[in-house]
Structure 1
Amino acid sequence: MPNTLNPLELIARRWQPSARFVRGAALATVVMAVLIVVTGGAVRLTESGLGCPTWPRCTADSLAPTAEMGVHGVIEFGNRLLTYVLCAFVGLAIVAARSRAPWRHSLTRLGWYQFWLIAANGIVGGITVLTGLNPYIVSAHFLLSTALLTVATVMWHRSREGDGPARGLAPRPVRQLAWLLVGATGVLTVLGTVVTGAGPHAGDANRVHRIPIDWEKITQLHVDFVFLVLGLSVALWFVLRAVGAPAAPRARTRDLLVVLVAQGAIGYVQYFTGLPELVVGAHMLGSCLVWIAVLRVALSLREHPELPAAGEAPGEPEAPEQQAPVPAGV
């Protein structure tokens, strides 16, 4: 009995997307992951978190919002529908990665990781509604969205590389500093969710449970980590220049500094103007851009070369990694 081909295999036999198409599909998942965060923030900032008061239906009797629910129901339901658009883009990225010859298993796996993260976050989003916008569940909902953005960014970066063994582009201590920066930014993001959970924008006009912590004190701790991340970024930029690192990591670090300064300015504006909704929304967008930028810095400090084509003799083995010399006068 002949083997039955799965649908992805059938598509791969009939469609060979270009490398550029695969990169574009991966980038689209990054854009959609950012958009789902920003629109989720709009749901909270417009007090539409319970616009659809139940889940998975919008009301007990209707899948979609009714006229009586007004604009809040439309906003909440629109955010739910956007999840399906996100799934479509992720599905396209999976199919494109699977159909590209030769098949890059690593890219396909990253696409499936995104799919399962979307599914998990959909369930957490439902729990968020059923628990009346419990701030701890809301924080978990945002952090899962950040995890999705992480995997999407890695897939986008990997789509422009090969599948050969990774090799560092800077000495190990420099790469470790970059990952320390990623860790500090991750803590900063978690603290941001606590600030949100304790702050005034609860997501619904009615009284919603908040995290029982002094909002101004946790905000100050959040600001302290902003300065830590900024300091680590400046230090990394100087170190990369000192060790003569390639242009790409230096450019990524410069981009990160620009985004951090802009995000810090937005943060101060929102704090001293009483947290206006539009500025808070811009700050949420900025948090996504900071996370993307810091991941790109760390990922740019190593590369995966292309594997030799079938039947092609492999190149000379790589020389052991050595400490890059410090240019004189730096």
Structure 2
Amino acid sequence: MVRVPKLTRAEVAQAARNPLLYIAERWTPSPRTVRRAAMSAVVMAVLIVVTGGAVRLTGSGLGCPTWPKCTDESLTATSEMGFHGVIEFGNRMLTYVLCAAVGWAIIAARSAKPWRRSLTKLGWVQFWVVMGNAVLGGIVVLVGLNPYTVAAHFLLSTALLTVAMVTWQRTREGDQAPRPLVGRAVSQLTWLLTVAAGLLVAVGTVVTGAGRHAGDSSDVHRIPIDWKMIAQLHADLAWVVVALTVALWFVLKAVDAPAGPLHRARDLFLVLMAQGVIGYVQYFTDTPEILVGLHMLGSCLVWIAVVRVVLSLRERPVAVAAVPGPAAEQPEPAAAG
């Protein structure tokens, strides 16, 4: 049995003043551990969106009718609240798991040697986005699932996913200034694609806010707009994103771009095709809950693919100190994407 050493008063005081520094002085995670910690935050960011969709699609959005407590008298769901209370409260508890994943990413980034301040800052950005979205989630409940606040809740989750993906990518790179792998025209086309994809996600939240899945069995206000019209606009934007993706792939091929950007553009196209199939099937089958849930998952995967395309257009080589001696070799640059 391993004996745990007792802490002195000075060590206890140091741990209380700056726990991250205290851990960093005693633990050095491997680069693989840091990458895994960052990826855990990405996975949880996707999972919280999917489970949030399950809350809405099961009509459990007001399973806990108040916030931050589940009811005025109880912090947790009670047996009288039934299935809907369990679903809604379970989703709230997953926020703590998400916080734990983000916390692990922050601790791993702070403890890495050498310390990369930029990576730690990205972890803290995730933490504050999670806190802001938790408060916004409470507001969603307090205003009775107002569709505009529900849309903002989803968009803030997408922002969290963006930062989490950037953090994960940065764990695989160095801290040198980014070096572009493609020309300016290709970068501009990629940013046009990104803007179109952002509009696609935003309009998707309007489709949700005007659709039939209000999130609760009670009479919940919907966005006063023709659902079929906004769904058609959403589909049109999807085809614009597909066309821009195909154009980007051909341009990358024409300029003999590195394999990273080409592969990321290909991946985005495949995800878009799968998402499009789900979207059309759910539209013509009167939006069954299971397909709507898969479409929400697909929305996360599409956005991840878009972010990966953007990040693949540059590289940040890892700076390695020169090894004394004539036989020292120059390190290869880190692969982008």
Question: Quick check: TM above 0.5?
Answer: yes
1:124 aligns with 2:132: no
Aligned residues: 315
Letter paired with 2:292: V
Unpaired segments ≥5 residues, structure 1: 317-330
Secondary structure of 1:14's match? Answer: coil
The residue that corresponds to 1:68 in the other structure is 80
The residue that corresponds to 2:289 in the other structure is 277
1:300 aligns with 2:312: yes
The residue that corresponds to 1:139 in the other structure is 151
1:152 aligns with 2:161: no
User: 1:88-237 alignment to 2 at 5 Å?
Assistant: 88-237=100-249
Letter paired with 2:232: Q
1:263 aligns with 2:275: yes
Letter paired with 1:193: T
Once the two structures are superposed, residues 87-134 of structure 1 have per-residue CA deviations (whole angstroms, 9 ceiling, x without a partner) of: 001000000000000111111011000000000001000000000000
Quote the Cα distance in structure 2 between the aligned partners of 1:174 and 1:106.
27
Once the two structures are superposed, residues 269-326 of structure 1 have per-residue CA deviations (whole angstroms, 9 ceiling, x without a partner) of: 00000100000000000000000001100100001111243999xx99xxxxxxxxxx
The residue that corresponds to 2:300 in the other structure is 288
Letter paired with 1:66: T
**Greater mean alpha carbon deviation, residues 301-310 or residues 67-76:** 301-310
Letter paired with 1:107: L
The share of aligned pairs that are identical, in percent, is 67
Match of 1:246 among 258, 262, 266: 258
TM-score (norm 2): 0.91
Letter paired with 2:268: L
Quote the Cα distance in structure 1 between the aligned partners of 2:319 and 2:226.
54
Quote the Cα distance in structure 1 between the aligned partners of 2:212 and 2:323.
63
User: 1:38-77 alignment to 2 at 5 Å?
Assistant: 38-77=50-89
Quote the Cα distance in structure 2 between the aligned partners of 1:195 and 1:165.
40
Quote the Cα distance in structure 2 between the aligned partners of 1:163 and 1:311.
19
The residue that corresponds to 1:326 in the other structure is none
Quote the Cα distance in structure 2 between the aligned partners of 1:6 and 1:186.
39
Quote the Cα distance in structure 2 between the aligned partners of 1:309 and 1:273.
60
Quote the Cα distance in structure 2 between the aligned partners of 1:179 and 1:28.
27
RMSD: 1.9
Quote the Cα distance in structure 2 between the aligned partners of 1:222 and 1:154.
26
Quote the Cα distance in structure 1 between the aligned partners of 2:235 and 2:196.
12
Secondary structure of 2:257's match? Answer: coil
Letter paired with 1:298: V
| 1:249 Cα deviation from its structure 2 partner | 0.8
